[in-house]
Amino acid sequence: MDVIIADSAAVVLPYTVCWNSGMAVKVLEHGTALLCADLPLFREIGEHVGPWITCYLTDGSDLSRQVDRVMNYPALMEDAERLSRFLDGLSRDSFAAEFEGALA
């Protein structure tokens, strides 16, 4: 799976419901763009990583247009730096603290 993700220009995650971002993070760790349904979780990650995540309408009606957009977007150095900062901020400790806070 790592080879396929790394060799891809973009990956579509066709989830209609999403409770965690494990696969999204896996894809982003390879510096591969993501196309995801317009769900709160993906919008939230997108706020941190910018153009690395593109959301399409949940009914898929604009997916073709969004694929074209992603495939023709020139990744800029600041985009890579933004993604790197997001990924560097992920850790088991920070996840555990947020999870514990949500349960409290």
Q: What is the value of pTM for the model shown?
A: 0.76
Reading the block at residue 65, the tokens are 């247009």
CA 66 to chain centroid, in Å, comes to: 14
Residue 56 has pLDDT above 90, yes or no: yes
Question: Mind listing the pLDDT tens digit for each residue in 57-69?
Answer: 999 999 999 999 8
Mean residue pLDDT of the chain comes to 87
Residue 99 has pLDDT above 70, yes or no: no
- Read off φ and ψ for residue 56, nearest 5 degrees: -115, 160
Fold for the domain defined by 1-103: Rossmann fold (3.40.50)
